Every structure is written in structure tokens, then in C-alpha cells.
Amino acid sequence: MTTDPQSTPAGRGPDGSQPWLHQRGRVIQEFGTVKQFPVALSMEARLYSCQRLNKVLADTRILHDLYKKYHWLMRGATFYQLHLLLDKHAGEQLGLVDTIAERVQTLGGVAVGDPRHVAEITGVPRPPDGVEEVPAMLSRLLEAHELILADCHDAAARTQEQGDDGTNDLLVSEVVRTNELQAWFVAEHLVDTPLVRV
């Protein structure tokens, strides 16, 4: 006789290996709050840093996705070089995503995780669903970089004022420097310079 795992006590099969499916739970920490952590920063400073970091995180996640999209959709004579470059930049942005999210968690906050929530927070404009011309794709990447950089410069200064050296360091040493370097590499592909002159 076969036992229905869902009909046994506590929903377990006779061997105890049946997963407990379709579970739901109560929210144990709301987004936009911080719990107390012994990191020698006030709750107000940590709350402010988490708010600023979550905005940068949302924009960085969108930039990562734009890089992947344009990596797949690249066209033209420089396809190979740009295909590889955009994938490299996407990987670096993905590293920033994890670093920023972990900083939010370190401060006792809740990192923005759901892509639909990211879409509500980001300031990066949504591109068309289809394929744009290559210069437009590259321009969109540069605009996203500049948006992130402007926000990071302001957030770094303000978190420094609040005594949050760790967030300031993350924003300046990792997010700003990575975005500046990537913007340089992308912008140079929009220079209309021939390889030779006749």
C-alpha cells in the first residue's frame, strides 16, 4: 500500500523526505527598515545609507541587464569586439550588484531583490523592447553610467557626512571607479575616426 505523503502527519512521507511545498510566511522585516547591528553607526545613518544604496543597486541591476541585452543584440563591423566588451562589463556590474546588496544587508537593511521592485525604484529610462541602432544602444549605456555616477557622487558625500565610511568607500572605490572606466571604454566606440586616411 502506497501512502500519500500529503495525508500523513505534518505532510511528510513515511521516510521523512517529502518536501513541504507551497509554504508562505509572514514578513519578518519590511523593506525600507533597518535592524540593529553592532556596526558603530546610528540607526538614522544606516537607514539613510540603505536608502541611497538601494537606489544605486536598482540602477546597477538595470545597467547590468542593458549590458546583457546589448551584448546579445550587437550588430555591425565591430560586433565581435563590442560583444565581448559588453559581456565583460556586464560581469563587472553583476559583481557590483552583489557587493552593494551585501552592504545593505551589513547595515541591517533589506536589499531590493525582486526585478519588479527594481523597476519601480530605478531612474534608468526603459529602452525599446526591440533592437535599436548600435550608437543608440551605446548612448543608452553611457546615460545610465552618468546617472549612476551622479547619484554615487552625491550619496558618497552625504554618507561620509553621516560617518558611514564603509558606504562612502564602496561607492567611491568600487561603484564610481568601475562606472567611470566602463563609460570611457564605451564612449570611445562612438568616436567617428577612420582607421586610415587616403
Q: Distance of alpha carbon 101 from its chain centroid, rounded?
A: 8
Q: Distance between CA atoms of 4 and 129, rounded to whole angstroms?
A: 47
Angle at 104 between CA 101 and CA 127, to 5 degrees: 45
Q: Cα–Cα–Cα angle for 94, 98, 102, nearest 5°?
A: 165
Alpha-carbon distance of 180 to 71, in angstroms, equals: 19
**pTM of the entire structure?**
0.89
d(CA 68, CA 21): 33
Residues sharing a CB contact under 8 Å with residue 34, sequence separation 6 or more, in sequence order: 43, 46, 47, 50, 107, 108, 109
Write out the chain's pLDDT in tens, 198 residues: 555 545 555 555 667 788 999 999 999 999 999 999 899 999 999 999 999 999 999 999 999 999 999 999 999 999 999 999 999 999 999 999 999 999 999 999 999 999 999 999 999 999 999 999 999 999 999 999 999 999 999 999 999 999 999 999 999 999 999 999 999 999 999 998 876 777
Q: How many Å apart are CA 9 and CA 124, to the nearest integer?
A: 51
